[in-house]
Structure 1
Amino acid sequence: MERKTFRHLNLNDRIKMETMLNSGHKVTEIAEYLHVHRSTIYREMQRGLYMHREEGYFCKEKPRYSSDLGQKRHDWAAEGKGRSIKIGHDTMLADYIENKIIQEKYSPEAALAAAENSGIHFLTKISVRTLYRYIDIGIFLRLTNKNLPVKSKRKRAYHHVRIQKRASSGQSIEHRPKEINKRNAFGHWEMDTVKGKQGVTKSCLLVLTERKTRGEVILKLENQKAESVVNALDRLERKWGDMFPKVFRSITVDNGTEFSDCIGMERSSRCLGEKRTYLFYCHPYSSWERGSNENQNRLIRRHIPKGEDFDAKQEHDIAYIEKWINDYPRRIFGYKSSAELFRNEIERINQEKT
């Protein structure tokens, strides 16, 4: 079928549309009759939507379309919008962005980067700032601020004074080599746990983030004990074998009880008497010292919201989230993914061995 060109509906179009909707015509039929794309009809239906109260004993309400209301809202938007809506000429780009943000949980910035790298020829190109503005003023059919990972969940910040209840188990972050702080060297990680619904979820996720590439490793633990963390690192060491000390050169953690067994986490399970890595502990209640870890945890929360019980999550669910994060386009890396950069570092290590 020939692709419909974009045009604005006028009042006569809206009256015809209202009549056809009330007569039971389908959206595709109305779009064909008015010579517009079906997305135009869907957006217009949202613009002129109201709740119609039917006569009768129960006074039921049903959603209806009003041509008058649709025209008023169109005129109101036209008065203050300034330049024309660029994306209105490109329903393919609008649908692509909606799918990336709503279904695949991308940020608007990442969605635009994915569109640019997709190889699809879109008719228009918009900036991140313009996309946020379009979402704010309700240009999209399904996409609103509620679908955005950060904007929809902003809360008032409260400041609490906290006191650490026990001493750190190992070396302080103050003794961490400066090369780690600069993020120029590969193999230095931050580690944290992501917990489910308090008082319900027994399991937790052990999350490791590589500081240079932001590569992510997620392991599910049966419980939140220090022994489970050590066992998880043992499994990771067996997986990487001789490469483990080169890939996991150091790990920075907070002072949670799950990280209290510093000796167990540092010692090798393959080579008795040897260290497999070096542990550094953040200052009390200083999560910003594991900034990469904290940012990655927000990405996990897009899939497992805070307060959700994830005892039932299977290994393939966790593997999907890990891959999604590693394949996510990053602005800091010119929209390359962490997976690409991580693979390059592993290849470099292998080349040095030969």
Structure 2
Amino acid sequence: MVPAVVSSRFLSLGERIRIADRVRQPGISLRTIAAELGRPVSTIARELHRNRQSGGTYQPHAAHELAAGRRARPKVGKLVADPVLRAVVQDGLDQRWSPQQIARRLRRDHPDRSEWHVTCETIYQALYVQARGGLRREVAGWLRSGRVTRRPHVRPDQRRPRMATEMLMISDRPPEVADRAVPGHWEGDLIMGAFNRSAIGTLVERATRYVMLLHLPDGYAPSAVRDALIAKIATLPAQLRRSLTWDQGSEMHLHGQFTQATSMPVYFCDPHAPWQRGSNENTNGLLRQYFPKGTDLAVHTAEHLNAVAAELNDRPRMTLNWDSPTERMTQLLTTDHHQQCRNDP
């Protein structure tokens, strides 16, 4: 017979043998064992508490058999097997008590009846899973959620990654980006409209503080942000397309496709570190003068966004020795043009 496949969530026999070997060695802590196995410390502690022999020794093969016996399925649910317990739980549900309230009162009111010490999950399973039923299904609609079907809980290892491809972190950026000595490195972000239903993309060049705005009339889904970024970056000369730094917002889910289209790597800031995009954060504050919080940003046309960007770029900046970003950008492009002319044969 083909052995059943056991989830990696459970300790394997090999791991239990490793635990047995290590606990016999003096001076080895549970934290050390957990680190070696890549498991939480609580898992190791619980394993030893549950599966030690009566004499206090830990035998891995016996422990493995004990754990497998507990895991055997199918099992008859407590509410199915005990009609009196089922009636008590049903009475609590009829009074609009939550499963948690029922489970806690059973433990408090019947401390000596361990077979009645059910968890709230047991009650939810009886309500939502027909195969493990025993409770009237219509009562599920009386729960505070109002749902009659179970909303699945996704485990952390099943969550969809925020980004489609691996992120390059800000610590991977070349030193030339940090000192602003080389132009062509940009910072980007979104400013959000009312109820987060609309957005405008913002781009700031780190050396000149030159601003460009992304028109996102149909929302800020990853594909919309990708396309708007590609179109805007395509308007720049090659020497101004070196890198982009962004926060870890899900709108950059398709950053790999942007990089493939533009040859610009995207570097991501650390979580909750807006100062790592200081120029962009400052610009977003200035933009709120034109696009107040709590307003619908989708009503602004691309032409209006370009006009706002031009007005910001014409403002003299103290950090630029009172030059404007437009003047600095013009100087930069003019110098590059003259350099290229001298290099041409």
Compute the TM-score of the two structures, normalised by the length of structure 1: 0.48
The structure in which a higher percent of residues are helix is: 2
The structure in which a higher percent of residues are strand is: 1
Structure with the greater alpha carbon radius of gyration: 2
Compute the TM-score of the two structures, normalised by the length of structure 2: 0.49
